[in-house]
Each structure stands twice: as C-alpha cells, then as structure tokens.
Amino acid sequence: MKHVAILIPNEAVLASIVDARTIFTGANDFLQSMGRQPVFDVQMVGLSKEVKVHGGMFSVHTDILLSDLQKSDMVIIPAISGDLQNAVNVNRDFVPWIINQYNNGAEIASLCIGSFILASTGLLNGKECSSHWITADAFRNMFPEVKLVDGRIVTEQQGLYSSGGATSYWSLLLLLIEKYAGRDIAIMAAKIYALEIDRKSQSPFAMFTGQKNTRTIL
C-alpha cells in the first residue's frame, strides 16, 4: 500500500483536509467494493495530537505525530489561511521533515495555497508551481526563485505537485487517484463526488488585479 501523510498545519483550511482524506479513503472503498485490494494507507499527521483551525472553531485530531512518522510515500499539504507570512512561520517545523521525506523518495503535493508551505522548503526553487490566483503577488514576493504559473490547475515537476485555487485541488487529488488506483477509480470518484476530471485552467475564476486581496482566501 502507498502511505499517504495528510499534514495538519496550523492555520489550515479544514475543507482541504477533509476532502483529501475523503477521496483517498473513498478510493479504497471503491476498490474493495470491486473485490480489489485497497491502495492507500491514509494518516493525518501533525505537530500535536490536536490542531485547532479556523480561529479555534474546529479542531482536528491527528493519527500520528510528525516526530513519530519516519517514512511516507506521499505527503499532502492542505491549504492555509490568514496572514500568509505568519502561516508559513508557524508551520516552519514541518519544513525539515518534508525535505527529508522528499529526499527519501516521497512525492509532495500542495493544495491551493498550501503551496506557500511547499515553497518555503526550497524544493520548488527553479521549478514551476500552481497556486490560488488571488495570492499570486504575495507568492512572487515571498518566493522569487519559484516560477509561479498563472492559471494552471495542476503543476508537477520531479515529484512535486501543486494545484490552483480553492476547489481546484480536486483535480490534483483525482490525478493522484488515477496514478495509483487507476483511471476507472478516478472516473468513479469524479462521478460520485460530482467533479470535472480533466479541467485545465482556473482563469475563468480570476478577477482583475485591482480586485485581488493577496492576504486571505474567503
């Protein structure tokens, strides 16, 4: 089985955590309903056993502490929110672990503006990256060595995946399902969760530059 570590960052967007867990465990359910073996071993991983999100309104209970997980095959970095520089700073303890996992062969995938945490590792330097269009200016200011690709839904280079804004991350999750569980399972997931499986661009959702707020996602 492929171990999937869904990180639970401070300042995380809860939906991106829940959606990632839902699609990987859902793929396992689809496979088992067809008499096939599950593919993914999914764990939620954090710096503490309980991580409060959305200003303490919700809390996420992790399956394992970051310090106790030695090896993963795929690391999912959910979206973050609020002041982006602060969100990067309060999650800096994830950085050496992410780098170590990548150097040991793991694939790393950021969802929406989880790209800020991925970029903070330095692994994206000199590479392309997708993120939410509304944070483009902030991203370029903070990570000038990363080539932000405007409008693209999913970007992948050398085992580093990133996705565009908000629910665009479903396209990346479907890509990973297809890669490891098969096209038929990805299509089934797309149908059950009412997703468009091959969407390429987030440009229809972008506003003019003057309307952008580069600090938060609403």
pLDDT in tens, 10-34: 999 999 999 999 999 999 999 999 9
Q: Quick check: 207 pLDDT over 80? A: no
Give residue 165's pLDDT: 78
Q: Which residue has the tokens 């999913």?
A: 154
Give residue 198's pLDDT: 62
Q: What is the mean pLDDT of residues 32-59?
A: 95
Give residue 200's pLDDT: 54
Give residue 24's pLDDT: 98
Q: What is the mean pLDDT of residues 178-197?
A: 91
Q: What is the mean pLDDT of residues 73-81?
A: 96
Give residue 150's pLDDT: 85
Q: What is the pTM of this model?
A: 0.89
For the stretch 126-173, pLDDT in tens is 999 999 989 999 999 999 999 999 888 999 999 999 998 777 899 999
Q: Quick check: 178 pLDDT over 70? A: yes
Give residue 56's pLDDT: 87
